[in-house]
């Protein structure tokens, strides 16, 4: 084993070789280690003539011409290797067609945080109301009066709230309208999946903009057999009492049986 092989074995085993720069005390007399034999460069034989060079490149050798009068012009033949190199250079330098410019959509405007109040009335109704925190208005009493006018006040009632965004992160970028619609729409579908209701009231601009599962083009819009109705929010009705008349007329048109005796 020569010195090069010994060093390679030690490196493979993870052993670091150390060689002092001078003879240490009490060390043995240094000796020359066996070195690997020198590598002789392989010399390729050169063609003896131009004919041999053409034959090595695969090109046909033109026949010898005795006199200039007998010389005939032969078609030029390009070696295969030369054609391959020229073709590769041409492909690299070929100008590619300009890429199609795709317009980038402008970033959405962030949606301010909001709160939605939700009521379940048995399997009859799911009401989603847009709230305005800090107004201190009797929205619960007004909703109870509307339910009593329709005769649904004896149904089991359950309340809930939906806050947007679900978790406030001061280090994250504010979400846009598409994220709010996706979150609120998914929540509405999950809520209707847990409790099968016949009617959905979307009360106020925020509930209608982010929770509507279908376009609200008519007074009552069908969504998988469920009636979706757009109505003013309870806060708007309390701030503008004159709108209660329009709401009562809408309820009488949609639910004639419940409002017949009232």
The model's pTM is 0.57
37-46, 137-146, 173-182: lowest mean pLDDT where? 37-46
pLDDT band at 142 (very low <50, low <70, confident <90, very high): very high
Q: Distances from the Cα of 24 to the Cαs of 6, 16, 28, 32, 210, in angstroms? A: 22, 19, 9, 16, 84
* Of 114, 181, 119, residue with least CA distance to 189: 181
- Indicate if the pLDDT at residue 23 is higher than 90: no
Q: Give the C-alpha separation, 93 to 90, whole Å.
A: 5
pLDDT band at 71 (very low <50, low <70, confident <90, very high): very low
Backbone angles phi, psi at 199, to 5 degrees: -135, 145
pLDDT in tens, 90-138: 555 555 555 666 665 556 677 888 889 999 998 889 999 998 877 788 9
- Residue 37 has a pLDDT of 74
Work out the average pLDDT over 143-167: 88
- Residue 89 has a pLDDT of 53
- Indicate if the pLDDT at residue 246 is higher than 90: yes
What mean pLDDT value characterizes the chain? Answer: 78
- Indicate if the pLDDT at residue 70 is higher than 70: no
Residue ranges of domains in the chain, CATH in brackets? 118-259 (3.40.470.10)
Residue 100 CA, chain-centre distance (Å), reads 21
* Of 37, 36, 28, residue with least CA distance to 8: 36
Work out the average pLDDT over 132-153: 88
102-106, 157-161, 175-179: lowest mean pLDDT where? 102-106
Q: Give the C-alpha separation, 169 to 6, whole Å.
A: 61
**116 contacts 161 by C-beta, under 8 angstroms:** yes
């Amino acid at each position: 084993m020569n010195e090069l092989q010994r060093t390679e074995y030690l490196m493979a085993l993870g052993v670091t070789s150390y060689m002092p720069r001078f003879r240490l005390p009490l060390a043995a007399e240094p000796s020359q280690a066996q070195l690997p034999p020198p590598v002789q460069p392989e010399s390729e034989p050169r063609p003896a003539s131009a004919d041999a060079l053409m034959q090595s490149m695969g090109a046909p050798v033109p026949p010898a011409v005795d006199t200039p009068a007998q010389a005939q012009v032969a078609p030029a033949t390009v070696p295969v290797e030369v054609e391959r190199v020229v073709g590769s250079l041409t492909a690299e330098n070929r100008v590619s067609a300009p890429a199609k410019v795709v317009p980038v959509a402008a970033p959405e405007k962030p949606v301010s945080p909001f709160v939605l109040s939700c009521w379940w009335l048995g399997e009859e109704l799911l009401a989603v109301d847009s709230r305005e925190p800090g107004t201190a208005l009797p929205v619960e009493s007004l909703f109870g009066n509307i339910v009593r006018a329709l005769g649904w006040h004896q149904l089991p009632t359950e309340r809930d709230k939906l806050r947007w965004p679900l978790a406030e992160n001061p280090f994250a970028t504010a979400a846009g309208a598409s994220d709010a619609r996706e979150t609120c729409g998914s929540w509405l579908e999950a809520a209707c999946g847990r409790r099968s209701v016949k009617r959905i009231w979307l009360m106020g601009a925020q509930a209608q903009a982010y929770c509507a599962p279908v376009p609200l083009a008519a007074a009552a819009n069908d969504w998988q057999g469920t009636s979706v109705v757009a109505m003013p929010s309870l806060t708007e009705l309390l701030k503008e009492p004159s709108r209660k008349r329009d709401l009562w007329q809408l309820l009488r048109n949609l639910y004639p049986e419940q409002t017949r005796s009232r």
